[in-house]
Chains A and B, each alone.
Chain A
Amino acid sequence: MDKKEILDFITKNPTAYMATVEGKKPHVRGMGTYRADENGIIFSMQTPKDVYKQLVKNPETELCYFAAGVQIRVAGRMQLVTDLALKKEITEKRQFYKPGVEKEGWDYVGVFILKNGKATVLDMKGPPPPPGAPKVWVEL
């Protein structure tokens, strides 16, 4: 898969398992990808959540997507986005943020973008790669 196919795959299968590191411990949870295109991969979350605090402190993340026998992993660094227009746009689509925004203002919505990530694809429909074979990475 090339860059465009990977971004299309993520757009069609937006649930990412997002791994973060807190100190020496990893954490992982399902997250809905808000958008994936040439500019990067965008996520949003409520800022009181642990995942937000973890990403602020250590922005190194990895995402795992899976659909129809294909796994895509994306590694990279999250950047905080403070664009109010984008927060408003996201909140229109993720209405469950509204009560929090009404109470705490727009700081309640945390937005991150993963730019210049690298992706590796594992197609489980084909023969498995030999153990220890180097991964092929695609720049996003």
Chain B
Amino acid sequence: MDKTEILKFITENPVGYLATVEGKSARVRGMETFRADEKGLIFYTSKMKNVFQQIADNPNVEVCYFAKGTQVRVRGKMEVLEDLALKKEIVGKRPFLKTAYEKSFDGMAVCRLKGKATTWSMQDMTAPTVFIDL
């Protein structure tokens, strides 16, 4: 898979398993990718959540996507974006977020990952790991 195919795969299968580090321990949870394009992968969460604190303390992350026998892993550093227009856009498209950010968007966290990706499939288990810059 090349860069375009990987971004398309993530767009079509947007739930990733996002791993972070807390102290010396690993953490992982499912996380929706809001957008995946040339500019990076966009995620949103609440600043109240542990995942946000973990990213603030250590921005190194890895995300694992899986669909139809293909696994895509993306690693890199998360960048916290204070982009109000993007926050508004996300809440506009995710109505369940509306009540949380009625008064202010300050508590909303938006992060971008410009990382490198590696793909794996059961048919191609022994292929060497190759990284592609996204």
Contact = CB atoms under 8 A, between A and B. Distances in A.
Interface in A56-110: 58, 60-64, 66, 71, 73, 75, 96
Interface of B (DSSP majority class): strand
B64 A62 contact: no
Interface string A10-38: 00000101111100111111100000000
Contacts of B20: 26
A41 to B, nearest CB: 14
A25 B21 CA distance: 7
Interface stretch (B6-14, B25-33, B34-42, B79-87): B25-33
A28 B73 contact: yes
Interface of B: 17-21, 24-30, 46, 48-49, 58, 60-64, 66, 71, 73, 75, 96, 100, 107, 120, 125
B30 A27 contact: no
A17 B64 contact: yes
Contacts of A126: none
Top 3 closest A-B pairs, CB basis? A132-B48, A17-B17, A19-B26
B64 A20 contact: no
17 contacts: A21-B25, A26-B21, A26-B62, A28-B18, A28-B73, A29-B120, A58-B24, A60-B25, A60-B26, A62-B25, A64-B17, A64-B28, A73-B27, A73-B29, A75-B25, A75-B27, A132-B48
